[in-house]
Amino acid sequence: MLMLNDLTVRDGQQSLLATRMRTGDIIKIVSILDNAGYYAMEVWGGATFDAPLRYLKEDPWDRLRAIREVVTKTKLMMLLRGKNLVGYRHYPEDVITAFIEKAYENGIDIFRVFDALNDPNNLVYPIKVIKSLSKAVRNSGALLQIAIVYSISPVHTIEYYEKTVEEFVSLFEPDFITIKDMAGILTPGMAVELVKMIKKQGVKVNVHSHATSGMAPMTLIKAAEAGADLLDVVLSPLSHFSSHPAAEPMVEALRSLGLDPEINEKVLYRASKVLEGIKAKYSKYDYSKRGKVVDINVLNHQIPGGMISNLLAQLRDLKAEDKLEEVLEEVQRVRKDLGWPPLVTPMSQIVGSQAVVNVLSGRYKILLNETVNYLLGKYGRPPAPVNEELKRRAEEMARNAPKEAMGAKTLEDARRELSKVYVEKDEDYITYALFPEQALKFFEERYKKKLAKAVGLGWF
């Protein structure tokens, strides 16, 4: 039977509201959608860990627990960036283990795991931890989705994806393979080819396609007809633009084709009405007010909507907004030089920032530290060989550079460095290991509020 996932409070708000939706508003939405009949709701991961901590002064672990308390019928899913977890660098194994175990303990049922380079080496350890999770926490163990990152380049052919899927299925035995089209460039025809190819491997298929180019609704319909098991949608107020197809018309369209996903549309309409009111509160972040409903240029530059917003912000800060078109063209040249990495976190940030520097300072006059680390293989295996001259420069820079004082923090580092005054739960150590600077600011403010409340109640 065809089923649907709802991504409204994770990818929907991340795409259109800069991930600024507060926990209280999220609870209002998911408590309604729990009765819709979705297979799962993606509610955590991606930027929804970093953003609440950095901008909203909210604890992402508290958010997950609050969601789990009100969602009792529907599976909860998170997006996990392989060894990067919910951050932008590879983390030590003890941090990876603790993060995944606590995510499961606090309510995550499905881990959707991906690596920006489709490098299985970056997935081995996180998936090992996911597979080892005890069923004692809930009646069934955690489910594993592996996302293959979809891109278009001379190396990203159907043969490339077939080899990648074979490798993933053989190594990891996932419950689902997700086709992750973050830029909205997956055509209906290619979706049909990929779905049929993956189904031959004996694994279920989930299709995830952003609406940026306008093709996503057609792509999802054709994928469903080709045998896809799961499709990703969002509620209509946070649909289209750089987000996903709207759930309400998708349900009706699928039903008309004899592919009824058995979703209660009355629940969707009620949730959408509530979301309309919530969305108005975040109008200053609303990308749909500034963007185009359909951006056909994405079929050429392949840049996800969030990445374009980031590039524009960088150029605005440098008073060089007029250089955007040049930067978009340079992005493809940088991709080629770096072996055609897909433009998804953290590759999109690396490629985009290097393209900005190239346009403003001259091509590779400055080689960014992140670019150097990528060329040295610290992010994993590129899809194709990198520019040899750039690689030689990176190796030379690495030889002459002072050694880093410290890499990513281990859990032991966090327990040693973080004052116990600030610690309320074990998850606080994990948060600190992931984002030390942002976490410390958050913990300090939380502690001050706690003291102020205690004084106000006359405890001292």
d(Cα 138, Cα 389) in Å, to the nearest integer? 53
| Angstrom distance (rounded) from CA 127 to CA 177 | 13
Give the pLDDT score at 255: 98
CB atoms within 10 A of CB 83: 25
Contact predicate 48/60, CB 8 Å:
yes
Work out the pLDDT band at 134, boundaries 50, 70, 90: confident
Please give the structure tokens belonging to residue 356: 């900005």
Over residues 318-330, the pLDDT tens digits come to 999 899 899 999 9
Give the separation between CA 37 and CA 112, rounded to whole angstroms. Answer: 20
The percent of residues above 70 in pLDDT, for the chain, comes to: 96
Alpha helix stretches (DSSP H) within 302-410 = 305-317, 324-337, 347-361, 369-375, 388-400
What's the rounded Cα separation, in Å, for the pair 306 and 50? 15
Give the number of other CB atoms < 10 A from CB of residue 252.
13
- Residue 342, pLDDT above cutoff 80: yes
Q: 289-295 — which CB contacts under 8 Å span 24+ positions? A: 291/241, 291/242, 292/241, 293/214, 293/240, 293/241, 294/212, 294/213, 294/214, 295/212, 295/213, 295/242
Q: Is the pLDDT of residue 459 over 60?
A: no
- Going from the C-alpha of 85 to that of each of 3, 18, 66, 89, 259, the distances in angstroms are 27, 19, 21, 8, 35
What's the rounded mean pLDDT across residues 150-177?
Answer: 97
Is residue 12 predicted with pLDDT exceeding 90? Answer: yes
Q: What is the pLDDT at residue 374?
A: 96
CB 150 within 8 A of CB 179: yes
Compute the distance between CA of residue 194 and CA of residue 188 in angstroms, rounded to an integer. Answer: 10
Do the beta carbons of residue 6 and residue 37 sit within 8 Å? no
What does the pLDDT read at residue 404?
52
pLDDT tens figures, 254-263: 999 999 999 9
pLDDT band at 402 (very low <50, low <70, confident <90, very high): low
Is the per-residue pLDDT at 289 higher than 90? no
The token duo for 120 is: 């299985």
Higher pLDDT, 132 or 137: 132
Instruction: Write out the DSSP string of 22-55.
Output: -HHHHHHHHHHHTTTT-SEEEEEEGGGTHHIIII
Q: Give the phi and the psi of residue 393 in degrees, each rounded to 5.
A: -65, -40
> Which residues, in sequence order, are CB contacts of 71 under 8 Å at separation 6+?
30, 31, 34, 41, 43, 107
State the pLDDT at residue 405: 43
- In sequence order, what are the beta bridge partners of 232? 5
Average pLDDT on 335-347 reads: 95
Higher pLDDT, 110 or 89: 110
Give the containing element (helix H, strand E) for 278: helix 265-280
Quote the distance between the C-alpha of residue 140 and its chain's center.
25
State how far the Cα of 158 lies from the Cα of 167, in Å rounded to an integer: 14
Q: Which domains does the chain have, with CATH numbers?
A: 3-287 (3.20.20.70), 303-400 (1.10.472.90), 411-456 (no CATH)
288 φ, ψ (degrees, to nearest 5)? -65, -20
Q: What residue spans of 281-304 are helical by DSSP H?
A: 298-301
Q: Give which of 113, 133, 123 is closest to 42, Cα–Cα.
A: 113
CA triple 249-206-130, angle to 5 deg: 135
In this predicted structure, the answer to whether residue 71 has a pLDDT above a threshold of 60 is: yes
Q: Per the structure block, which two tokens stand in for 272?
A: 């959408």
Which comes out higher in pLDDT, residue 330 or 139? 330
